[in-house]
Amino acid sequence: MEKFFITTAIDYVNGAPHIGHAYEKILTDVIYRHFTQRCDKHFFLTGTDEHGIKIQKTSAAQGMSPKELCDMNSQKFKDAWKALCVDYDKFIRTTDEYHEKVVQKIFKKLVDKGDIYKHSYKGLYCSGCEAFLSEKDLTEDGLCPDHQKKPEIVEEENYFFKLTKYKDAIIKHIKTHPEFIIPSFRANEVLNQLENIEDISVSRATSNVSWGVPVLGDSEQSIYVWIDALSNYITALGYDIDGDSDQNFKDFWPATVQVIGKDILKFHSIYWPAILMALDLPLPEHLFAHGWITIDEAKMSKSLGNVISPTSVLEAFNIDIPDPLRYYMATAAPCGKDGNYSDEDFKEKVNAHLANSMGNLLNRTLSMLVKYFEGDIKPEFLEKNELKEKALETIKSVKHHFDYLEIQEAALRIIELVDATNKYVTDNAPWTLAKEEQMEKCGVVLTNVLQVMTVIASLIYPYCPNIAEAMAEQLSYDIGIKLDNIDCEYIKAGHLIDKENIKPVFLRIDSELADKNKK
């Protein structure tokens, strides 16, 4: 691949981050880290959405200015992603001055082009969605289906974007690019929504929404969320409406993958393509709409008291590194489907996969190498076998799943390789070979396992970067090797490790050693 550019949705900062936000960022980071293993030019963008009526109301209720609320909560998102090892290249805030100026220019260009016009309007407005809804969008009780609240009737003169002008072009693009919307079953939802699409409001009267980007030449209007928020994907790269864009924009646009929640797919698959078409810019290659995360099979809700912060799981289980939570969340659901978090399942899954199967495999193999051969790999131990062939096939399989953004499925292939390697150890019983003084055969078995462990370290790295690096250190392995260059023959003859350098890469959550209070 020549380049890889991935984005997340930008999070609204009227509150602190929760595990739903973390799910998207972890998922995106896992995808990003995998593709850094396959290409040299890559970029990861995330950020926060900081304008609109909800910020205005929340900040007033808390006795602070909108900017103070944005500054406080935006930092909470940054801190959370740092704690979870979300390794983005840029964090954009829509209150950034450069972003606001480009948004104003984009708006003006579309006005000058005739794609934005002023119109008096009366409609149903959901402040939770920051969107006008039609009667057909509501439940039988007249509620917003996502927020379960009755929209307010809003009547004002706003600027409207000619979404209907681009309707046919968007339909054609979706039908001729089946890979545009992932998973593919979401495409039909979008096509159904396009049937009765109308022009959309892209400004609000400042008398109602004062916290926003002002419309150039019209002090009575603020630019509404969609032109403002969606444009972050190009303003962050240095897009310039006058044609003098930064090199990042030239290098990375269009985006390779834009990761979003299924609830905002409409805005990204209809509004966003139309805006890009109006600007004569290419569309992103893939829109990946992930599902939601429930808590103990219940939707997260403040009223239920089941909203979990991103780092509270790590604190509750006394975990020093975020890898267990990263692994659990990234594998919580098949591509595009909903997933669930529960404490018991979390503990059971990460103990089984990361501690018992993978971590213990490395630890006991290295320990036997030290016990029987003083940590040395002898030349006669190096040979090809079916296990190493399976490892190379697993690389191909994992790459295939990532190409289709099947992140859970890719992890299953990795764990299958771990399980196959454990079975290889059990079947060949190197401890028995040593007891029978079949030392060369014993050394071959151990070396084969360690060669495969280098592959496992590379493959698990996107999910568990800290664990993978700890594995690589004990194997004297370069974790930065591109996947295409792995040959499963990295470990050479010579001294590999001493006893004092063998350490568990991940302790079981319920292990006495893992409990800080017992240390």
Local confidence band at 513 (pLDDT 50, 70, 90 cut-offs): very low
pLDDT tops 60 at residue 517? no
pLDDT, mean over the chain? 94
The per-residue pLDDT for 161 is 97
pLDDT tops 60 at residue 329? yes
488 is catalytic: no
39 is catalytic: no
pLDDT tops 70 at residue 102? yes
Per-residue model confidence as pLDDT tens digits over 14-47: 999 999 999 999 999 999 999 999 999 999 999 9
Helix boundaries (H) for 231-316:
232-235, 247-252, 265-266, 272-278, 312-316
Q: Which residue in the list 41, 113, 147, 177 is annotated as catalytic?
A: 147
- Reference 90, options 49, 37, 47, 41; nearest CA is 47
More confident residue, 126 or 364: 364
CB 101 within 8 A of CB 228: no
Mean pLDDT of 309-318: 90
The per-residue pLDDT for 511 is 55
pLDDT tops 90 at residue 431? yes
Q: Which residue in the list 51, 78, 144, 353 is annotated as catalytic?
A: 144
70 is catalytic: no
Residue 477 to residue 153: CA distance in whole angstroms = 63
335 is catalytic: no
Q: Which residue in the list 299, 384, 396, 499 is annotated as catalytic?
A: 299
Q: Which residue in the list 126, 335, 442, 464 is annotated as catalytic?
A: 126
Q: Which residue in the list 42, 70, 78, 129 is annotated as catalytic?
A: 129
Angstrom distances, CA of residue 430 to CA of 35, 358, 425: 36, 18, 7
More confident residue, 120 or 87: 87
Per-residue model confidence as pLDDT tens digits over 470-491: 999 999 999 999 999 999 999 9
Per-residue model confidence as pLDDT tens digits over 364-420: 999 999 999 999 999 999 998 999 999 999 999 999 999 999 999 999 999 999 999
Domains of the chain: 4-295 (3.40.50.620), 343-518 (1.10.730.10)
299 is catalytic: yes
